Amino acid sequence: MSTERLILRRFRETDMDGAHAILGDPACAAYFDGTPAAWADTVDLIERAAHLDPVEEVAVCVRGSGELIGVVRSGPFIHGEDEIGGRELRWAVHRDYWGKGVATEAVRTLIEEVFIDPSVTHVVAYCERDHLRARKVAERIGMVEEKPIVAPPVPVAAEVFGTTGLELREIEIEERPLSPTLVRYVHVRPGARRVFQPT
């Protein structure tokens, strides 16, 4: 995967230092896993990435120099249960490259690769409400903020214990709890139909 400025590739063992400079930095980690990675966590990520789908854990490098400047991920959901046809996106870029469009370019390219798989209907990103940089990235690549759905009461019939009578009572559909500090963004593959049920 490549763009005019960047190359997105699988991680290599030689990427340990570069990846840890990003994931171990609290400011960068806030946009990825939320907490800075210990060295052992970075080592685990690099070793695990070698056995994953090429779009699940991706190193973002500068074309020409090969410098590793970011990490992008498209994989199972970290926030809540997996969704049929869905992938959760996360990204982090070295702070020296903030404000230069690197995250936007890398995430947009990853989405194009993810959507090559016809079983993927949508991608989702969760951003902290006050992380305006992350939210701007999501919006620039065409993601839309998804408001929580408030389900109306649904009338159902229930047997009354010890009788043959029925009573009507109202229940509400339970929604997956989401931290009030998180904003959910979604991008649906053109022509795809969303399937909302968790797997």
Bridge partners, residue 92, by sequence: 71
pTM of the model: 0.79
> How confident is the model at residue 111, as a pLDDT?
95
Other residues' Cβ atoms within 10 Å of the Cβ of residue 185: 21
Q: Give the Cα separation of 89 and 47 in Å (integer).
A: 20
Q: Which residues does residue 154 pair with via DSSP β-bridges, in sequence order?
A: 171
pLDDT digits (tens, 9 = 90+) for 41-70: 999 999 998 888 888 999 999 999 999 999
For residue 198, the model assigns a pLDDT of 44
Q: What are phi and psi of 57, to 5 degrees?
A: -130, 115
**Looking at the predicted structure, is the pLDDT value of residue 195 above 80?**
no
Residue 146: phi and psi, rounded to 5, are -105, 115
Looking at residue 183, its amino acid is V
